[in-house]
């Protein structure tokens, strides 16, 4: 989340009066986390809501997928932002030249200190999301899948030298490795695609909700697990914590058991997801949005994670034992 498009209290109130049956807004507060869309907290006398304005990175044609997915998950008691239906039955309308929608506000907050229990609950939540969406009849191609990583690299190829001299050649070597070894036949369906600590809320020790479904798409389920291992199972010094990974995988297996093919593919899924975030962070680092209240994240964090995954021999190195 970020702030690219400014909206003041009067503009937000006019948007609500025209499209919704909600109480008057008492305040509107910017949310600075993230890098994709513009987000505000709207507070009324009795409720809070999230106002999201979709920026250039989000394709308008993808918005029905995201909305339908969140409505589907809410109906199945997976706690996520619930899209608020407008007077005309729709969910999206234009505000300040951006498509916009309003969602329910989730209680809880992201954790600053990741525990083993957090990781177990994240694994369970990921598996539950995969299970609950197995029969939904919507589809979105993963624009950040392994086969699209070359295009990402091409967009910043000449700028990687400023971060690390050898990075260009190292990324090319990794792309070639992934292209030669990427699996083609694994269990697949809808994945979250971005299950980082700032997209999971906790109330005390219990997981209270999942947000930010704007990378959700169809891909291998185990790729989603690789993303989550990268996001949850490394320490601040980028050292790998096998105990956290073990708990995350145990949580997943307690809901949806990994197949042998998925277990074999786990190391390369972790490598592929690490390279994905290395590349997207390089793009954000070198080309931040104009006038946005955004703090780009350090891409070298994912370089360090990728280097670890390149040493992995099997899923046992992630704490997953036969």
CATH number, position 74: 3.30.200.20
Range of the domain at 312: 116-318
Is the CB of residue 136 less than 8 Å from the CB of residue 72? yes
57, part of any domain:
yes
Q: Tell whether 91 and 136 lie within a shared domain.
A: no
Residue 203: partners with Cβ closer than 8 Å, 6 or more residues away: 107, 108
183, part of any domain:
yes
Q: pLDDT 10s digit of each residue in the chain, 322 long?
A: 467 899 999 999 999 999 999 999 999 999 877 567 899 999 999 999 999 999 988 899 999 999 999 999 999 989 999 999 999 999 999 999 999 999 999 999 999 899 999 999 999 999 999 999 999 999 999 988 888 899 888 887 776 666 777 888 999 999 999 999 999 999 999 999 999 999 999 998 899 999 999 999 999 999 999 999 999 999 999 999 999 999 999 999 999 999 999 999 999 999 999 999 999 998 888 765 555 556 678 889 999 999 999 999 999 999 997 5
Task: Give this prediction's pTM.
Answer: 0.93
Q: Tell whether 205 and 58 lie within a shared domain.
A: no
1, part of any domain:
no
Neighbours of 259 (CB within 10 A): 13
Domain count, the chain: 2
32, part of any domain:
yes
CA 311 to chain centre: 26
Task: Give pLDDT, residue 160.
Answer: 60
109, part of any domain:
no
39, part of any domain:
yes
Q: Tell whether 121 and 61 lie within a shared domain.
A: no
Domain-ending residue, one of 104, 128, 163: 104
Q: Tell whether 146 and 293 lie within a shared domain.
A: yes
Q: Tell whether 272 and 206 lie within a shared domain.
A: yes
Task: Give pLDDT, residue 290.
Answer: 52
Q: Tell whether 181 and 252 lie within a shared domain.
A: yes
Burial class (CB in 10 A: 0-12, 13-18, 19+), 131: middle
Task: Give pLDDT, residue 15.
Answer: 98
User: 304, 27, 279, 28: which is closest to 172 by C-alpha?
Assistant: 279
**3-class secondary structure for 159-173?**
HHHHCCCCHHHHHHH
Quick check: helix, strand or coil at residue 7? coil
282, two tokens? 């390089």
CATH number, position 261: 3.90.1200.10
Task: Give pLDDT, residue 2.
Answer: 63
Task: Give pLDDT, residue 60.
Answer: 92
Which residues, listed in sequence order, are joined to residue 109 by a DSSP beta bridge?
Answer: 202
Task: Give pLDDT, residue 48.
Answer: 97
186, part of any domain:
yes
Measured distance CA(93)–CA(34) in Å, rounded? 22
Domain-ending residue, one of 58, 77, 104: 104
To the nearest 5 percent, what fractions of the chain are helix, strand and coil? Answer: 45, 15, 40
139, 157, 278, 310 from 167: Cα distances, Å: 34, 9, 10, 15
Measured distance CA(249)–CA(320) in Å, rounded? 7
User: 190, 176, 184, 169: which is closest to 303 by C-alpha?
Assistant: 169
What sign has the CA pseudo-torsion 283, 284, 286, 288?
A: positive
CA 101 to chain centre: 19
3, part of any domain:
no
């Amino acid at each position: 989340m970020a702030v690219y498009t400014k909206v003041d209290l009067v503009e937000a109130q006019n948007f609500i009066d025209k499209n919704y049956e909600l109480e008057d807004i008492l305040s509107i507060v910017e949310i600075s986390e993230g890098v994709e869309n513009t987000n505000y907290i709207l507070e009324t006398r009795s409720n809070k809501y999230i106002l999201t304005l979709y920026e250039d990175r989000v394709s308008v044609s993808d918005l029905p997928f995201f909305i339908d997915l969140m409505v589907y998950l809410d109906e199945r008691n997976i706690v996520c932002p619930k899209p608020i239906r407008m007077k005309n039955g729709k969910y999206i309308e234009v505000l300040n030249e951006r498509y916009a929608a309003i969602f329910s506000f989730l209680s809880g907050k992201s954790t600053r200190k990741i525990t083993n229990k957090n990781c177990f609950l994240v694994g369970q939540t990921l598996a539950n999301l995969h299970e609950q969406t197995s029969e939904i009849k919507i589809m979105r191609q993963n624009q950040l899948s392994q086969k699209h990583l070359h295009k990402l690299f091409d967009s910043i190829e000449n700028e990687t030298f400023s971060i690390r001299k050898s990075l260009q050649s190292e990324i090319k070597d990794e792309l070639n490795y992934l292209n030669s070894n990427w699996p083609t036949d694994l269990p697949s369906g809808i994945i979250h695609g971005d299950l980082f600590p700032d997209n999971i809320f906790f109330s005390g020790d219990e997981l209270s909700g999942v947000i930010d479904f704007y990378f959700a798409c169809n891909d291998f389920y185990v790729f989603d697990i690789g993303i989550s291992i990268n996001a949850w199972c490394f320490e601040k010094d980028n050292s790998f914590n096998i105990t956290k990974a073990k708990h995350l995988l145990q949580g997943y297996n307690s809901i949806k058991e990994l197949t042998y093919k998925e277990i074999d593919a786990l190391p390369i899924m972790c490598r592929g997801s690490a390279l994905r975030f290395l590349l997207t962070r390089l793009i954000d680092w070198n080309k931040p949005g104009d006038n946005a209240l955004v703090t780009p994240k350090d891409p070298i964090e994912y370089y360090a994670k990728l280097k670890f995954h390149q040493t992995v021999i099997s899923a046992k190195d992630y704490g997953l034992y036969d």
